[in-house]
Structure 1
Amino acid sequence: MHNAQPWRFRYARGSGTFRVYADFERTMPHSDPEDRALHLGCGAALFNLRVAVANAGLHPQAELLPDPSDASLLAAVRTTAPADEEDADLGLLHPAIRERHTSRYPFAETDIPEDLRSALMNAARREGATLAFPSSWHLRWVQELAEEAEARNLTDDGSEEDLARWTRTGSEEADTAPDGVPAYAFGPRKRGGRAPMRDFSGGKPSTDLGSTPFEVNPHLALLTTEEDGPRDWLVAGQAMERVLLLATAKGLATSFSTQALEWPDLRWPLRDPVSGTGRVQMILRLGYGPKGPVTPRRPVGDVLGFEP
């Protein structure tokens, strides 16, 4: 969320084990009070680690929340065993890690082929989550909840504070900051359409990227888990990244819609209207369109440490 990059890694050479930690100095107290989004982001980083280990010919044996006494230790990944057949599938996603990034630009109205939708749903299922493409009145309901949340955020002091901390609006800051969302990546302002886009300027004057119509019928997908605790959030983050990497490899552009997830009274109604179950962890927007500019990344030395 907001490119906060709230993760840290430590590698123990002796045991060949990576430990993945949450960086709780990078929280968003108002928008993410339970650190749910933080865990999703760390889960995505964990999945990228698994892909990189598999690409190196090793088996990434991951254990979630290995130490109940340390809430910051989210996962341990042993890398000593040789890769197996399932790891080969992970390794194929490795080139997409560098290519994948959020696009805040309009996508074409072109349908996503059914076989690709099925593959994306299967990718989430392999990580223990569910991906569904809402349609008809459920899709309109998701769009309305996202619009309501965006309207709230624009007039909410807490949301404004979180956004101010993680957006880089000055030209020098945007060019040099290693994290956050720089002004050049805000994307154009939405003029019409139902794509659930965030106004990263908070409704204030900003770098003029213009305005443009967005999709009237955006392709949205809901990523859900059965339960809603730290372990489920890590599962969801890994499933989300597996979906995003596969989508990128197949030529899709992607972005997130988190606004409705930041308000408990709006997040709950997003769930499956038929079964009434499933905790929505992320709304993904998928489609064919411009990839948009990349956002910065923290230096490796800031996020990776070594020990014997």
Structure 2
Amino acid sequence: MVARQPDAGTVAALVADATAAPSMHNAQPWTFRHLTAEGVLELRADLTRAMPRTDPDHRALHIGCGAALFNLRVAAAHGGLAPEVRLLPDPADDLLLAVVRLAPGSADRAPDAGLARLHPAIRRRHTSRHPFTEQVVPEPVRQTLRDAAAREGAELSFADEWHAELVLDLVRDAESRDVLDPSGRTELERWTRLGPEADTAVDGVPEYAFGPRMSGGRAPWRDFAGRRPVAGHGTVPFERTQHLALLSTRGDRPADWLSAGQALERVLLGATLEGLATSLSSHPLESPDLRWLTRDPLSSGGQIQMVLRLGYGPEGPATPRRPVRDVLTVA
């Protein structure tokens, strides 16, 4: 059990785990500041990594930062800490998304064992844009993932076949809109890494993580290659039935987006421990009209925040991360 405030090395390790979280286009839109005397770690939004066209309200930015916050909580619990989190603590500072007091574990406040058990999945979780098998995710596993989302104040629902087909149609609609919008393509290309750059990048989506194209159709996610030639970016058959889940929250404000990000990462880490491969799509959620249509009209669910594809298949490659020294300052 930790009996004192974490030292600089421990804080750096916590931030390294936090930054393994997913974010739109792997932009990693976060910074951290450690207030040593107070034993507090601040999570701040980095608007230099925002996407004005794709994410004008910074919804996806908050979700990515929420996922990083959840990883931080997991890493802290694994290290014997009992973190105390306050979301959006300063109404006058929109960039300060969360304050985490790195409280040592004690008899009165023990580290969260449920969080700590997820720690091995942080480095194993990768986005997989490869074909999955036809095997259906068993109901007990689905319920485990629903419970994971609920623990963070969100809801995870698994799409029926007709609803999954509708969502896939919306993904394709969003892809077609991007083709007609040069600003969208420019923003996407800013965050893709081709050729030698893919081997040295510290952010963005490298070409080795694009995944293959679907033969006879379009894959259920954004085509990062577009019309650019990419070595080895061939076509292969995918599973006939896409197993999709939708993550939603009741509200649709920054606090809800941060909660959605924490719920998303809790689901992804839990899925990884269950042997599932995962990928994400926010593509049909980037246009208000398409986002509304992703909802199941037969349910009373709230605001859809992310579309997940889950199944059994390759975990996908690790994507680059910025060094801790680039995202952490100490005061």
TM-score (norm 2): 0.89
Q: Is the 8 A contact 1:193 1:215 kept in 2?
A: no
Q: Is the 8 A contact 1:190 1:197 kept in 2?
A: no
Matches of residues 212-231 of structure 1 in structure 2 within 5 Å?
212-231=236-255
Match of 2:273 in 1: 249
Which consecutive unaligned segments of at least 5 residues does structure 1 have?
A: none
- Compute the displacement of 1:277 (Å): 4.1
Q: Once superposed, what is the RMSD of the aligned Cα atoms?
A: 1.4
Match of 1:89 in 2: 114
CA deviations on 1:250-288 (whole Å, 9 max, x unpaired) are 111110111101111100111231245410000000010
The partner residue of 2:40 within 6, 9, 17 is: 17
- Specify the code of the residue in structure 1 equivalent to 2:68: A
Aligned length: 306
Q: Is the 8 A contact 2:164 2:243 kept in 1?
A: no
Matches of residues 133-212 of structure 1 in structure 2 within 5 Å?
133-169=158-194, 171-192=195-216, 195-212=219-236
Match of 2:5 in 1: none
- Compute the displacement of 1:230 (Å): 0.5
Q: Is the 8 A contact 2:83 2:100 kept in 1?
A: yes
Q: Say whether 1:36 aligns with 2:59.
A: yes
- Compute the displacement of 1:143 (Å): 1.7
The partner residue of 1:294 within 288, 302, 318 is: 318
In 2: Cα distance, 1:235 partner to 1:203 partner: 36
Q: Say whether 1:270 aligns with 2:266.
A: no
Deviates more, 1:263-272 or 1:228-237: 263-272
Matches of residues 62-77 of structure 1 in structure 2 within 5 Å?
62-77=85-100
CA deviations on 1:145-168 (whole Å, 9 max, x unpaired) are 112112222332121011110001
- Compute the displacement of 1:203 (Å): 2.8
Q: Is the 8 A contact 2:212 2:234 kept in 1?
A: yes
TM-score (norm 1): 0.96
Q: Is the 8 A contact 2:248 2:301 kept in 1?
A: no
Match of 1:2, SS state, is: helix
- Specify the code of the residue in structure 1 equivalent to 2:114: D
Identity of aligned residues (%): 58
In 2: Cα distance, 1:173 partner to 1:94 partner: 30
In 2: Cα distance, 1:195 partner to 1:166 partner: 20
Match of 1:122 in 2: 147
In 1: Cα distance, 2:126 partner to 2:166 partner: 27
- Compute the displacement of 1:204 (Å): 2.6
Q: Say whether 1:108 aligns with 2:108.
A: no
Q: Is the 8 A contact 1:195 1:215 kept in 2?
A: no
Distance 1:124 1:85, change over 3 A: farther
Which consecutive unaligned segments of at least 5 residues does structure 2 have?
A: 1-23
Q: Say whether 1:258 aligns with 2:295.
A: no
Distance 1:253 1:196, change over 3 A: same
Match of 2:132, SS state, is: coil
Match of 1:284 in 2: 308
Match of 1:57 in 2: 80
